[in-house]
Each structure stands twice: as C-alpha cells, then as structure tokens.
Structure 1
Amino acid sequence: MKNILSIVAKQTKNNQTNAQASVVFVVDKNLKHHFVNEKQLKEFDYKGEGVFFVQETKTLYIGIERIDSDCLREAGCAAVRYFKNLHYENFKIGVYGDDKCMYALILGMYLGVYQFDKYKSNKKEGVLKQIFIVNEGYDKKFKLPEEDLMIRAQIVAQAMSDVRDVVNMIPYEATPEFLAKWSKQIAKTHKLECNILGKKELKKEKMNAFLAVNRASVNDPYLIHLSYKPKKAKTKIVLVGKGLTYDCGGLSLKPSDFMVTMKADKSGGCAVIGILQAVASLKLPIEVHGIVGATENMIGGDAYKPDDVLFSREGKSIEVRNTDAEGRLVLADCLSYAQDLKPDYLVDFATLTGACVVGLGEYTSGIMGYNKDLKDRFETLALQSGELVAQLPFNKHLEKLVESKIADICNVAGSRYGGAITAGIFLGAFIRKEFREKWLHIDIAGPAFVEKDWDVNTYGASAAGVRAGIEFINDIALRG
C-alpha cells in the first residue's frame, strides 16, 4: 500500500471534477437517485445488488444495504479492488454520511489496494493512483472529510498492511529473530523505545514456560518490548501478543492439514507491533507498551513433553498434557513480565484456540476477562472499528477443568468443550489480583488468517486486532 494511492477531497461538484471514472453507491436498491441512470440500468436488469460497471458512462455502481460505517468500508474496498487492475488511473466518488462513515469509506479504499505478491514471479502493478472525493450534494448537512481524518485512515491502513505482510511471510523467513529486527526497525522509524530479551535474559527472568516451548527449535526465542512514552501521559496500557512464528504442535504433533497456515500463529504479536506503530504515528497522549513472545514450537530430541511440569515466571507450576497448547505457556510468562510494568489496562491478543473458531466462526474474535464493564467497552469500540467480536463468559465450573493433580494448573482442560474459555481461564490464573479487573484476553484465532477474501480482507492475514486495539487506546486517551 505504501505511497501508491492518493485520496484527495475536493470542494467541487461531480461534473466539475475531471476523472476517468465514477463510483456511485446504490442504497437499499434505490435506483431513483439523481446520480443513477435508472433507465440504463434497467436495460441491463441491474436491480441495485452487487457491482455493475456501465462502460458508456464509465460509472461503477455498487449496491449497499444502507449508509453506515460497515457498508461503506466494504463498498470502498470493493470499488478500489474493481479498478486497481484496470487501465484507470483515477476515479471520483461523492460524500456519503458523516465523519464516521467517511472515515470508514476512506479506510476501506486504502485497504482495497492491498495484495501480497512477495513470492510471485510475475508481479502485476496496479494502474490506479488517485481517488477524488467530491462534494456532490447528496445531503447538504454532510461535508468533505477533514485532512486529519484522512491521515488517520492512512496511518491505520498502513499499520494493517505492514502487519499483513509479516503474518503472510513464510516461517523460513519470518523467524523470531526477524520479528525482533522488524521491531527494531519500527522503533527507529517511529521513535519508540525497543528492548529485546534473548535466551540468556529469558533464563535470568525465569521464563521457563516460554523457554520450554522453544527448546526444540533451532531458532532462538526473543521477548520484544516496544514502548511509546509521550510527555505528560497519565494512563499506561500494556499490550501482550503471542508471536509463534511457527507451530507444528510439538510432540503432540498437528495433523498435516492443520499445520498449514501455522505461519499465522504470530498474528497476535504482529498486531501488537502494528498497534504501537499506529499509536506513535497518531501521537496519542497515552503511554503504551507492547510485549511480544516470539518463538517456534517444534519437535526434536530436546522438545518439551506431555507429562512435564514447568515452573513459570509467576511462580506457578504447570502440568503439560498437550504440547500443542503452547501459546498459553508463552503468554503466561509474557503476562507476568507485563504486570511488572504496573499497567492501568492490560490486553493480550493471541491466535490461541481452534475452539474459538468453532464457537464464533472464522470472522469473529472472542473477548474474555473478569471485568464486565471493560469487556463491554472493548466490544463496543471493536465493533465500531469494523472488527467482529463477541464476549465469552468465564464460570467457576470451567475453572475446575484446568486443575492439576500434580501441579498448580494444567495447560489443557479435562474436557473438549469450552476450550477457548478454559484457555482464557488458564491465562487468568497468571493475572495478579490487582490487575484482574484491568485485563482482557482477545482470542483472534478465527479472523487472523482466512483462506478466502472477506469484507475488507484478502486471502490470508487480516491484521485482526489492529483496528480494535487502536480504537480502544484512542478512546482511553480521549475519555480515560
């Protein structure tokens, strides 16, 4: 996406803007709008659904249900996807809705440019370079978007695109060391503090659960700590991300079909890095830390085993009954480290469980934690950002399922049911009493990587968690 699309707001009418093509949204199948050639569309039996391009007038019609953020975001993305590989360098589009709607539309258009072709031998460069937003007079109460709104959309889209690129990268390239180097680059570019803990430092920190997961890998583990510290910040947020650059399941080996796409097990960690990048670019007046546990979960003679007992940084012992439940072991130690920073809010993002995908589907992230008001707040803001989320409730009966006979806790539940929740409960066991009401766990296993186009996402990585995280932090910066 980098610097290849320019979106310009012009205080002119439609017929005063010279563009090679136009985009018109048909709202709720209403073909009687003054920018719709009803007679012409009826000749082709277009009834206001889907996408239809009239070559004579060079007008792309896109049917949407209503004028709201979700519909406009997806429609903006669809418009750019349609034109980007054709021989049009620009198109024009009118003002639709208020600032929230226009922000969504612009973000969708920026995201429509995204494609991942790093490993393609024949790369196709898009021709589309510019979009004009013109004040066509759809509704006099609506105005052109302000420049800061457009800049914000570009910053968020850039962070999402960067995260998608890294999540889509193959595990041979995107190793824990690569994530550490990428983080250093982000820190240098955006003036963040960056502290990288290697194996020696992890041992000193007594991160034995984290280190056990890494033991059979030829690639060393790293804890990445990014910090954004503006002057006079009154609130501190700490984000924690699961950065499993590859997960074969360890000795509890995954079936081959389930091993494919496990390069995406680093999505939570990458999302955290992307959020820090955006927060710094937006210059939000709030202190934000990002903690990423970067490692692989592999097999070998030194692999940790089912039946092992691990001693975590927090002091709790963990019985291992399945080495494929490894992300929670890494997060347990990373959450312990994060709590030492004394956060006002603590949020982790992780592709933690297939059970979350079973329960909520491919497109929805699960929200868990102990504070109902905080969960409600995150849910509202995530939905507002365009990400689909739903709350999953803890309860005392499920807590009993992670009890161990020989250790403080077991890394898998004694039942196959409610697996996403019991994984969240496992993490909750490592949250100290003073932070329980400040902590949220976001399981992004469903939407992080989907092998088909959906909404504003292409095949592969979606940068799940980035929009929601930015919206949440921005709201805290504004309202506390």
Structure 2
Amino acid sequence: MKILNLKKQAELEIVLLRDKKLPKALTKAEKDALEIQNYKGEGCCFLVASKKFFVGIESYNYPFPNAIRDALANALASIKKLRIKSASLVVESQQEAKEVCEGVLLGSYVFDAFKSKKGENNLQEIYLSSTKLEQKILAQIIKESQILSESINQVRELINTPPMIATPKYVADFAQRIAKECGIECKVYDEKFLEKEKMGAFLAVAKASANKPYLVHLSYKPKVAKGKNLPKIVLVGKGLTYDSGGLSLKPGDYMTTMKSDKSGACAVIGILESVAKLGVQAEVHGILGLAENMIGGNAYKPDDILIARNQKSIEVRNTDAEGRLVLADCLSFASDLKPDFLIDLATLTGACVVALGDYSTGIMGYNQKLKESFAKAAFEAGELSGILPFNPYLRKLFNSEVADLCNIPSSRYGSAISAGMFLGEFVAESLTQKWLHLDIAGPAYVEKAWGVNPFGASGAGIRAVVQFILNQTK
C-alpha cells in the first residue's frame, strides 16, 4: 500500500473524529444517515452515499501515543474489503501525519506467506493532504514513515518465518542482504571466530544444534564533516532462531512461539536499516548472537560450568536460561567497541510479561536518567514501556558455590530484574552507566492482533530505539 502526497480525487474520504467529535460541515443527508445508525463518533461508520468513512478516536485514548495509529489500523480491516482502490485523509499536524502513516502502513501488514488463499485487499493508495502543513514537510514525513514502517514489516516477516527456514544462517544472510541494500558494513563470524574469541557461553548453547551459530556485526558510519564527533551507539540482539529449552526441555505448549526468540536480533537489523536509510547522524553498530538451543548427545547440561568471553565462570542449572548466555558473550564483545550508549534487546524472561503485561517493554539498567530518557523516546515513538528498578539485594540470588555466577537465580521472584543484572556482569565496568537492557518478551510476539500489530510478530523495539538515536543527534 502506498501513501502519497498528491492532490488527486480519491474514491473514499476517511474522516478522523478527534475526541469523537463529528465535523460541523456535514450535509443534512449525512446527518440523517448518521442519526439512523445512531453513530456518536465511536468506532467506524461508512456512509455509502457520500463515500465517507468516519473513524472515531476514543476520548480516553487521545492523545495517547497510539490512539490515531490504532484507530486507523482497526478501520483498515473494514476499508480493505470495500471495492475501493484509493482513499484520502486530511491531517492537522506533523505528529498526526506521522501517526496516520504508521497506522496505515503498519496496520496493513499481514503474514500470509504460507496461506493458499490470501486476504482480500482492494485498497492500494491513500492520499494525505493538509491545510496547516507545507507540501514539502508533509512529503518528508511520508517518506520517513515509509522507511521506518517498511523496516518494521520486513522484521515482522523475518520473525514470523518458521524455524525450519529461519535458521541462524538464514538470519545472517538476511542481515547481509539488508546491509548491501543500505550500503552498510556487515561481517559474519562463524564457530571458529567464536572459539578464537573464547565465547564459551555462546558456543555451549549452540552445541547440540545441526544449525551452526553465527555472530553478525553490522556497522553504519555516515559521512560527516571533518572534526565532527558523532554519538556512537552499539546494539546487541538476542537471536535464538529456535529455543527448545535444551535438556531442560520446555513443555509442549511453550514451544509453539519460540521462533520469536530471535526478535531482539531481528529488531537490531531493522534499526540499522532504518537509520541508514534515514541518514541519521550517528555511528550505529549492531551485534547479533544467532544460535539454536536444541537437544542431543552433545548438548550442554545442567551442572556444566562455562567460561564466558570476559573469563567469568557460569554454573548452568537450567539450559532454558540460554539467551542470557549468548548475550553475555555478545555484550562483552560489544563493550570493546567503547560506545557512548550500549543497548541490548532480548525476549529474555516470562517474568517481564508477568510484571508489565503483553504490550510493554521492560527497561532496565543502572543509570536512572538514561532509563527515563529511553522511556520518553519510546513514548514519543508510540511504544509502551515500563522501568524495572535494579535491586542490589537480588544480586546475591546469582551466587554459586562452584563458579562466579549461576545462570538462574535461587528465587523466581524478581527474576526479570535479576536476569537483567546477570547481563550487567558482562558489560565492561566503564560502560555500566551507558548501558540499557530492554526485555521485549511481552510485545515482541503476541498471538492476537492489538492496535497496529497483527497476530504474531510486532517488530517491538525498532520505533523506540530509532527515536532514542534520533534524540541523541539533536
């Protein structure tokens, strides 16, 4: 679907009802039609005679960051079924134009690659206009929204792709293809490199899989004037293309969504693609830890003691706490890049979903101002989040009698926080105040549609991190 900024007569007019207020300039026939349907500005209403489609924005949601996005996404489900190829819409501000574009572009995504019968969609173009914005500004907003939304939809497609296809090698190849298209650098490292780097924790997780692990390093460095210093951001993504739980095998019901355990790494690819295409004035790196956690005669075991890249020893008590082991070595590797900001994204704990629900990202770290700054950026971008406070008393839960650390805490209470604190043990000490851990276990993959997100992958973290990076360049 295309969003265009052109003065062209469309077949359908979409009318946004801000705060559920009906427009004053209605004809008597339109007023009568709305009266017959008892329409008061809630939900959607289609007037066939005048070809107007009213979209109500709930008063309790407005100006909630996703009110317009969600309202349009919900409306699209009905509009796409009409025998109409084009629609028009009037926006009143830059923010509203951005939200409209994202509502349409993100709300129209459907994962139907494996469906023999595709969903019906007649709508091809939506034309935006505004009496309050210059055409040039509106065109730029449309362009930027399309770049971001297309990246998110590509990431959704990658996350939704089943594990029989989306192996570590597949995701690494995907990253290489995106890098080539965007003109950014991409290095793909195999097992030999991981062994050379002494990534014992990462390697252990991947041991029993027929699909070999990879570490991918994406680098975006824009051209800048000589002598100008750019902020340097390094992103680390958990990329478990499938997680069976290993020898600590998951119950069957908990395996059916584990293709989504690569969501953090996939989001990092989308972020790098977005910042490159937007030409953001920041140096951005992405480190992807790609592996499968499977079972077999050579699988790593509870009671094993692993030596991580930073030489800390880890007692394994549960092989299903594998993401933190992969991230441990990746965070150590990323620390060597000496960034201004280090951010990891991971579907790390079910406990974070218990704490914040399905739809919010957990923000953790040692720097309160940095956490608040990221939460503000996420809200600006339309992603919900909650700050979970690190607690020094939880650190002792990772104590081990036989190693430096244990990979699971001795208590399940506060385990989203304690998992984040475990990761902090592998961030260079000089970077602890520059590091954020984002637990996206809740919003990354939800088995029901919500707002602009269809069933399945949402692309969680992309909008929030891109906005955070943009804020560092102002």
- TM-score relative to the length of structure 1: 0.94
Deviations along 1:369-419, one digit per CA (max 9) or x if unpaired, are 001111000000001101110000001111111111111111111111111
**How far apart, CA to CA, are the structure 1 residues paired with 2:310 and 2:115?**
45
What's the CA shift for 1:123?
2.4
Deviations along 1:286-313, one digit per CA (max 9) or x if unpaired, are 1100000000001111111111110000
- Residue 300 of structure 1 aligns to a residue in which SS? coil
Deviations along 1:404-448, one digit per CA (max 9) or x if unpaired, are 111111111111111110100100111121000000000000000
Give the aligned CA root-mean-square deviation in angstroms: 1.5
- Residue 126 of structure 2 aligns to a residue in which SS? strand
Q: Which residue of 2 aligns with 1:39?
A: 32
What's the CA shift for 1:200?
0.8
**How far apart, CA to CA, are the structure 2 residues paired with 1:177 and 1:345?**
28
Does the 8 A contact of 2:107 with 2:451 survive in 1?
no
Deviations along 1:26-65, one digit per CA (max 9) or x if unpaired, are 2333235325833321111112111121222222111113
Trace 1:236-315 onto structure 2 (pairs within 5 A).
236-315=232-311
Counterpart of 2:414 (choices 418, 439, 448) is 418
C-alpha distance 102-298 of structure 1, shift in aligned 2 (>3 A): same
- Residue 41 of structure 1 aligns to a residue in which SS? helix
Counterpart of 1:369 (choices 365, 371, 377) is 365
Counterpart of 2:139 (choices 133, 142, 147) is 147
- Residue 362 of structure 2 aligns to a residue in which SS? strand
Counterpart of 2:231 (choices 219, 230, 235) is 235
Q: Which residue of 2 aligns with 1:72?
A: 68
- Whether 1:452 and 2:448 are equivalent positions in the alignment is yes
Q: One-letter code of the match for 1:429?
A: E
Deviations along 1:341-363, one digit per CA (max 9) or x if unpaired, are 11111000000000000110000
Does the 8 A contact of 2:87 with 2:125 survive in 1?
yes
**How far apart, CA to CA, are the structure 2 residues paired with 1:39 and 1:143?**
35
What's the CA shift for 1:75?
2.1
- Residue 330 of structure 2 aligns to a residue in which SS? helix
- Residue 146 of structure 1 aligns to a residue in which SS? helix
Q: Where in structure 1 are there 5+ consecutive unaligned residues?
A: 12-16
**How far apart, CA to CA, are the structure 1 residues paired with 2:24 and 2:245?**
56
**How far apart, CA to CA, are the structure 2 residues paired with 1:284 and 1:131?**
27
Deviations along 1:98-127, one digit per CA (max 9) or x if unpaired, are 211211111111112211111111224622
Does the 8 A contact of 2:17 with 2:23 survive in 1?
no
Deviations along 1:304-332, one digit per CA (max 9) or x if unpaired, are 11111100001100011110000000000
Does the 8 A contact of 1:20 with 1:91 survive in 2?
yes
- Whether 1:201 and 2:185 are equivalent positions in the alignment is no
What's the CA shift for 1:192?
0.8
- Whether 1:29 and 2:24 are equivalent positions in the alignment is no
Q: Which residue of 1 aligns with 2:121?
A: 126
Counterpart of 2:53 (choices 50, 57, 60) is 60
Q: Where in structure 2 are there 5+ consecutive unaligned residues?
A: none
Trace 1:328-477 onto structure 2 (pairs within 5 A).
328-477=324-473
**How far apart, CA to CA, are the structure 2 residues paired with 1:196 and 1:153?**
30
Does the 8 A contact of 1:89 with 1:130 survive in 2?
yes
What's the CA shift for 1:143?
5.6
**Aligned residue pairs, count:** 464
**How far apart, CA to CA, are the structure 1 residues paired with 2:98 and 2:189?**
38
Q: Which residue of 1 aligns with 2:112?
A: 117
- Residue 28 of structure 1 aligns to a residue in which SS? helix
Identity %: 51
Does the 8 A contact of 1:243 with 1:270 survive in 2?
yes
What's the CA shift for 1:176?
0.1
Q: One-letter code of the match for 1:157?
A: S
- Residue 418 of structure 2 aligns to a residue in which SS? helix
Does the 8 A contact of 1:321 with 1:410 survive in 2?
yes
What's the CA shift for 1:89?
0.4
- Residue 163 of structure 1 aligns to a residue in which SS? helix
Runs of 4+ off more than 6 Å = none
- Whether 1:168 and 2:160 are equivalent positions in the alignment is yes
Q: Which residue of 2 aligns with 1:187?
A: 179
Q: Which residue of 2 aligns with 1:177?
A: 169
What's the CA shift for 1:142?
5.4
Structure 1 range deviating more: 297-306 or 58-67: 58-67
Q: One-letter code of the match for 2:113?
A: K
Structure 1 range deviating more: 41-50 or 434-443: 41-50
